[in-house]
A and B are shown apart, each in its own frame.
Chain A
């Protein structure tokens, strides 16, 4: 018999392949874990519709569980309620910042279609708020690119979603 808690613990070791400082729990994409006898069912939700990391994440979950001897694993994707950056843990946001990526602002501040609205984003290096947007889309769909006007470094911002 396997317990839910044991599986949750193992999932802490499965990382986001594109932002490897974050575990999939930090990211908030694991919605449910249920165990019934030897059968383990894990429900995850995609971050972005076209996110290529999702297939890799499913495979990494399987590999991690197989490593510990759990073979009877079903992974299902759930679309609703849709993932939001508000589900990212406080710990996850701190890890992102330490990694040099500005963590997402709370959703209600910015998820609007107002044109040319500029968010106040803190530079993860020098902590200045004197920054400007370079591009709404950066190295991955989930990030925007900013520039710090004080320390002059460009940085990624994990945008609100």
Chain B
């Protein structure tokens, strides 16, 4: 697959080879940044002080992971030859081109348009109530745990190093969120109602993670078994019923998002777009 005009049938054109791997790095970074941004919305609004601190610490870990990945993507891009740069041009922020300097991590985080983000839809959904936030976190962390376990075996040593570093944090996120799912599911009448509602909202967004995008170097479809098993174990403790697989919504990995992402980006990118290339 060295032909730069390669287009997977019916999908957005993602370039193969080194430049194709670049889209995968953005996908990983966008997942971490967008869910991190969502979790940061709890800052000062958590249900209890300790949990306010917990969710924002998780957010901090995620934004830290996103930084390592964007930094790596920017470094790679700056080393690309002109063919490779052309191949990923549709993913590069337009505003940055006017800066006449090398690409940096913040340009990728704050200056791309909605259709250039490749995160899972699950990550961008509104934070909802506490039940929706913890259940989303549990679904996401369980996936990220198995994804990064695979990523640690990558022949790309920088990606495997980032995975090795991040998975320790993800292990804590998974444990924390699983405990909350159990607490709410097997809690009061109200907590149970709320987490059941959250499950109804979120379930159809969980399948996307396991549908491979053309740029994915990990066989994500093979992670589904372990993920389901983890969810089933925790749901059994939480006295929640595992939904039937059913239809699932997808598109985020190709840049087709829910209406929620635009609002999130408007909020997150405001400063960098209003004061272009500002530093402080």
Contact = CB atoms under 8 A, between A and B. Distances in A.
Interface of A: 46, 48-52, 79-84, 111-116, 134-141, 145, 161
A15 B178 CA distance: 36
B68 A49 contact: yes
Given A49-B65, A141-B57, A81 B164 contact: yes
Contacts, number: 84
Interface of B: 50-51, 53-54, 57-58, 60-65, 67-68, 145, 157-158, 160-162, 164-166, 168-169, 171-172, 174-176, 178-179, 182, 234, 237
9 contacts: A49-B67, A51-B60, A79-B165, A83-B165, A84-B168, A112-B171, A134-B50, A136-B175, A137-B176
B182 A115 contact: yes
Given A49-B166, A79-B162, A137-B54, A115 B175 contact: yes
Given A48-B169, A49-B166, A113 B60 contact: no
Contacts of A141: 57, 60-61, 169
A82 B61 CA distance: 14
A82 B162 CA distance: 9
A111 B175 contact: no
A43 to B, nearest CB: 13
A50 B162 contact: no
Contacts of A139: 53
A64 to B, nearest CB: 25
A48 B61 contact: yes
B54 A135 contact: yes
Nearest to B53: A137
A10 B162 CA distance: 30
A135 B53 contact: yes
A31 to B, nearest CB: 13
A107 B182 CA distance: 26
Contact of A48 (B64, B158, B164): B64
Q: Which 7 A-B pairs have the closest CB atoms?
A: A50-B64, A49-B64, A80-B161, A135-B50, A137-B54, A50-B60, A79-B161
A111 B53 contact: no
A139 B52 CA distance: 11
A52 B63 CA distance: 11
B68 to A, nearest CB: 6
A115 B166 CA distance: 20
Contacts of B67: 49-50
Contacts of A138: 50, 53
Most buried by B among A48, A84, A114: A48
Contacts of B58: 137
A135 B180 CA distance: 12
Given A80-B164, A82-B165, A113-B171, A135 B61 contact: no
Given A49-B61, A137-B53, 10 more contacts: A48-B64, A49-B165, A49-B169, A51-B60, A84-B168, A113-B145, A115-B182, A137-B57, A137-B172, A141-B61
A116 to B, nearest CB: 6
A81 B165 CA distance: 8
Contacts of B60: 48, 50-52, 141
A82 B170 CA distance: 14
A116 B157 CA distance: 34
Contacts of B57: 137, 140-141
A145 B50 contact: yes
B174 A50 contact: no
Most buried by B among A50, A138, A141, A145: A50
